[in-house]
Amino acid sequence: MSNVLRKHTPSAHRWVGYLAVACALLVLAGCGGGASGGPVKTVTQQQTTNQLTIALEAPERPQLLAEQEVLVTLTDARGVPVEGAEVWLALIMPTMQMSSNEPDAAPAGNGRYRAKAIFTMSGIWNLEVHATVHGQEHVVTFRAQTS
């Protein structure tokens, strides 16, 4: 018996297996969704009610089942940012009979309030913005289309 060590080289079947695993990993790496694929394109809508202007900045095409930031900006009749408001959203799908998702918005300074929204189904959504300023509640409704 020879004491010569043989160099191990994988068979062709093993190389095919390695290649298949590498391809699967590349495909999975590309399935990360839009969260890390660069900046999300947003759209701003606004309405005025009772001397309060409410602007909503949200993803142009909200993704399903992904937490997304929504920015509400409040300004008074002179365009001055409104601080100290209580702000929350009601995400309602008008074609479905289900309870709404109601995230609270946290103050972000300069009349801005940030909320995290999650859309659970594809279709058209009503985004009601509720803002209580000095004891008076203001409600406006915007629309969004999920992809």
Domain ranges (residues) in the chain: 42-145
pLDDT-based confidence at residue 26 (cuts at 50, 70, 90): very low
> Under CATH, what is the fold of the domain 42-145?
Immunoglobulin-like (2.60.40)
Give, as one character, the DSSP assignment of residue 16: H
Does residue 92 come out as left (phi exceeding 0), alpha (psi in the -120 to 50 range) or beta?
beta
CA-based nearest residue to 136, from 63, 69, 92, 74: 74
Q: Which amino acid is at 49?
A: T
Q: What pLDDT is attached to residue 38?
A: 59
Can you tell me the distance from the alpha carbon of 46 to that of 131, in angstroms, rounded to the nearest whole number? Answer: 13
Percentage of the chain modeled with pLDDT above 70: 74
